[in-house]
A and B are shown apart, each in its own frame.
Chain A
């Protein structure tokens, strides 16, 4: 029966193999692909790929170079903040506008507190009556009174860590100098570093 079925099956769609078209016949019908033409097309493709990769690489390199401009118009990281006797006890906001720094005088001396919220980087506002720095973006709050161990500590809202402090020192002419390039983080135990605090 099986032999009968194959013999009768003239239409090629039904069964493959002996009854259908041979692989040679299929090959002959397709345009002739010789080894030479195949290699030629592959080499063009390879050349295209090399060019594409080189172009992308060059564009990315240029983009990377763009990230490091020759000149940066930024306020200097280090600034002189005047004589110590110009400051009274408490939080001083005179450098906040220009350098985003509060200079705080306690009984023992001075330190410079960063004005960048540790949650998402807004600038908190200083509220005298409540003695706190309050960030308007998501409601983080930091102590603004209570001595040098407490000022800047986060106590409300989502801020995960205290405000950072900057290096503070005296120059030869007796002025306070604040260096923002060096910061001190409380959670790393850096607030006890002598450079983070200016004893007067």
Chain B
């Protein structure tokens, strides 16, 4: 039992959990067997059994029954259920389309029902049930109120509200103005841009995966991996001092995790070239700063400007995007896609080579 717990603790280290989730994510679209009623029932029983057995562990019980965290337990199950429900219908429809039948939604008869009483009664019952659940919830689970805020003291466990935990995790890898302003802004702008970028007319009014592969995969990668997974990590696996703790591990305030971080400029100038960070260039201090961060700037600018045309020329997939979307749409889409992918890239760089910032100019409060 302890060996299993130790293994789960080890595998839930963010770097393994993240890697595993990404692999599972891309794998799950290939496994038709996952999206059947039989598998859905087996998976529900297995996850409930896992959850029930884990509740025997004291640390797991404390973390998952804290009033703050209960909704996130629900979120995991709801997310799994709705993903399964929609993809099951999508794959069922794909099977029908393959043998020349119309999607299931098209075969349903268009019966009409009255708003009163049918719809209003349904809504009324839903309202009463939801109200009862909320009343019971607020009585049983106490709101976690603490002492008045004090700017000169931060408790060891400092967590944002659950819906911001993804942002808080993001802030570990980025400067505040990027993770707090630019990237959240891009998320909103990108979501608003979807109807203008997505020109695929198919899949309207029925579930399908085969006809909208990339649209579904890109959206679900951003939503499930880069948003919900980070919320789950932030809720259950981040403890005092934002240190990582496995689900069966005691939250020890004094846990020491060495994580000395190094900037890219230091890697290149000190460790590779062995000349030390440049102080000045052409006799000017600000030129020295620019020279010091030259490689970082080249990397960042190259990533955003060189990759879209190179991919459009070299990769058959991206060439297809370029042809269907046209130049302007393709470049907007690529900018948003590349901006989204900076987060996993930055996380992986931090985990593998302890990279702190690619461009680091603390003198001007500018860090990427």
Contact = CB atoms under 8 A, between A and B. Distances in A.
B254 A98 contact: no
B27 interface: no
Nearest to B360: A160
Interface string B265-295: 0000000000000000000000000000000
Interface string A131-173: 0001111110100000000000001111011000000000000
Contact of B363 (A96, A125, A155, A188): A188
Given A100-B152, A115-B152, A136-B156, A187 B363 contact: yes
A156 B363 contact: no
Nearest to A188: B363
Nearest to A129: B254
A159 B340 CA distance: 22
A136 B356 contact: no
A124 B175 CA distance: 17
A193 interface: no
A130 B154 contact: no
Nearest to A141: B259
A192 B155 CA distance: 33
Interface in A180-200: 187-188
Given A136-B242, A157-B259, A125 B168 contact: no
B172 A158 contact: yes
B155 A157 contact: no
Q: Specify the main secondary structure of chain A where it touches its partner.
A: loop
Given A139-B241, A157-B172, A125 B259 contact: no
Interface residues of A, number: 30
B260 A155 contact: yes
Given A124-B154, A137-B168, A138-B242, A158 B363 contact: no
A78 interface: no
Interface centre among B158, B174, B357 (most CB of A within 10 A): B158
A130 B173 CA distance: 23
A123 interface: yes
Contacts of B254: 127, 129-130
Contact of A136 (B151, B154, B365): B154
Contact of B151 (A123, A127, A157): A123
A136 B155 contact: yes
12 contacts: A97-B152, A123-B151, A130-B254, A134-B241, A137-B168, A138-B172, A156-B260, A158-B172, A158-B173, A160-B357, A160-B365, A161-B362
Interface of A: 96-100, 115, 119-120, 122-125, 127, 129-130, 134-139, 141, 155-158, 160-161, 187-188
Given A125-B154, A157-B242, 14 more contacts: A96-B153, A97-B153, A115-B152, A119-B171, A123-B154, A129-B254, A130-B254, A130-B256, A134-B241, A136-B158, A138-B168, A156-B261, A157-B259, A160-B360
Q: When A and B form their complex, which 8 residue pairs have the shortest distance between CB atoms, in order from nearest? A: A161-B362, A139-B242, A136-B158, A187-B362, A100-B152, A137-B158, A160-B367, A156-B259
